[in-house]
Amino acid sequence: MSGRFGGGGAVFGLAAVLLAGADSTHATYSIVACDAKTRECGVAVQTNNLAVGSSVPYAQAGVGALVSQFETNPHYGPRGLALLAAGTSPEATLKRLLAEDGNFDGEGPQARQVALVSVDGRAANYTGEEAQRAEWAGARSGLGYSVEGNGLVGPNVLEGMEQAFLTTKGTLAERLMAALTAGDLAGGQKTGRESAALLVKTADGWPIDIDLRVDDSSDPVGALRKLFDMQFARQEVVRASQFARKGQLEEAKSLLIGAVARASTWSRIWIRAARVAESVEEPTLALQYITVAFSENSAWAQAEIGEGNFAELGASLQFHRWVSAEQEQNAVAAYERLRQANDAEPEKGVRVSRRLLEIGHPKEALIVLNDIPQRSEESVDLRLLRGTAYAAMGNYRDAMEQCQMALNKEPNDSRVRLRMARLEQQAAAEKAAK
């Protein structure tokens, strides 16, 4: 090596060793587990050191999960998962890892505490002699899981974790989180707490996977629980969207209600839920959700309005108060450009009409929609969009006619049936008021 960095190898090597020692994780407790049915695998861990999630937990869906703690050897994770993926048993994998330890950061197997589980439920764990001296230290395991720790207040920590994992109902992530919480409530580590992490790998991958970390906190498990609730809520909204696309509207609505209750302080979840609520013919629910989000952070109104995501809400005065003059001008300008270009491209017309409906201009939206050639095989979505424009103008007869034509095409479409029922109620209420 030459130049300004020449001769620095020894200094760099010493610095690396010192940094590795500083990052080693003393006094830690964790749980590794897999669900044989879903093939999910994951880890929950807490320690009184910085950023435990960056070095201790490893998991791979359909393969297994592993932790390396006390004096962490970061090579154990990738090597261990590769061996498990190749069909090596957890016990044989553990033996090989210890045999090939390589004295990372100047420590050997005596300073390691390792646990791993394979997707078929087999588990193995090890606590080296040096780790055992960090009283209390030990491990417990069963079909599909292993709990382990060192520097704990006593065996009750792992006993509580095991019991919580075995008795908690729900997803693997919920059971792991329950176990970690139980360990914390049982007293955790003698020296205190600083960081925690939850890692769950699924067959679907992101965004269903979970990789949450609290790197420095006086209550890392409590902070991790809040993050987990937010993650869980986001996943429920994703599931609700999937149900909506399948026409399972009641199931989607139920998931949305549960999601916003789980993470009620997170304005983003209200916005995502509002979009799905509108797609399942729940405009009142969507309006409630969007009002909460925009009231908590008015900047969201500027970011979310303008692309036609909330076309169904544009007729509401409560929603319209969030529409800025600039957003209204931009939508009208897009309408004028479309008319001048005489562009008959249906997709562009739909986009512009949705923007117009969102800002409360149903008359112009209907002009655009009626410029799109109407055919007997016209899509349900387009029929419903025309119905939205007619209803926003108070023309319930033509709105219901659009719904009826959509029903003629798709007699069992739940969205159209819900829309028709709502229009009939609105028409009856208007007639009674006259």
The kind and range of the H/E element at 119 are none
Average pLDDT over the chain reads 91
Q: Give the end-to-end CA distance of the chain in Å, rounded to a whole number.
A: 91
pLDDT, tens digit (0-9, with 9 covering 90-100), for 319-375 = 999 999 999 999 999 999 998 887 668 889 999 999 999 999 999 999 999 988 766
Tell me the average pLDDT across 52-58: 96
Q: Show me where the domains of the chain are located.
A: 23-214, 219-296, 325-433
Domain range 219-296, CATH class: mainly alpha
| Confidence band for 14, pLDDT divided at 50, 70 and 90 | very low
Q: What proportion of the chain, given as a percentage, has pLDDT over 70?
A: 93
pLDDT, tens digit (0-9, with 9 covering 90-100), for 107-123 = 999 999 999 999 999 99
Cα dist. 115→32, 47, 201, 413, 414 in Å?
7, 16, 17, 51, 50
Domain range 325-433, CATH class: mainly alpha
The kind and range of the H/E element at 223 are helix 220-245
| Confidence band for 5, pLDDT divided at 50, 70 and 90 | very low
Residue 23 pLDDT > 50, yes or no? no
The predicted structure's pLDDT at residue 376 = 57
23-214 to CATH, choices 3.30.70.2740, 3.60.20.10, 3.40.50.970, 3.30.930.10: 3.60.20.10
- CA 150/CA 180 separation, integer angstroms: 14
Cα dist. 163→116, 168, 175, 191, 384 in Å?
19, 8, 10, 24, 52
| Confidence band for 16, pLDDT divided at 50, 70 and 90 | very low
| Confidence band for 1, pLDDT divided at 50, 70 and 90 | very low
Phi, psi of 394 (to 5 degrees): 85, 10
- CA 257/CA 240 separation, integer angstroms: 10
Q: What is the CA radius of gyration of the chain?
A: 29
Residue whose pair of structure tokens reads 């006259």 in the numeric block: 434
| Confidence band for 26, pLDDT divided at 50, 70 and 90 | low
- CA 52/CA 198 separation, integer angstroms: 10
Residues 6+ apart with CB under 8 A from 40: 34, 61, 171, 172, 173, 200, 201, 202, 203
pTM score > 0.75 for this model? yes
Comparing CA positions, the residue from 17, 54, 35 lying closest to residue 197 is 54
Query: In CATH terms, are 219-296 and 325-433 the same topology?
Result: yes
The predicted structure's pLDDT at residue 346 = 86
The predicted structure's pLDDT at residue 108 = 95
- CA 303/CA 183 separation, integer angstroms: 42
pLDDT, tens digit (0-9, with 9 covering 90-100), for 74-105 = 999 999 999 999 999 999 999 999 999 999 98
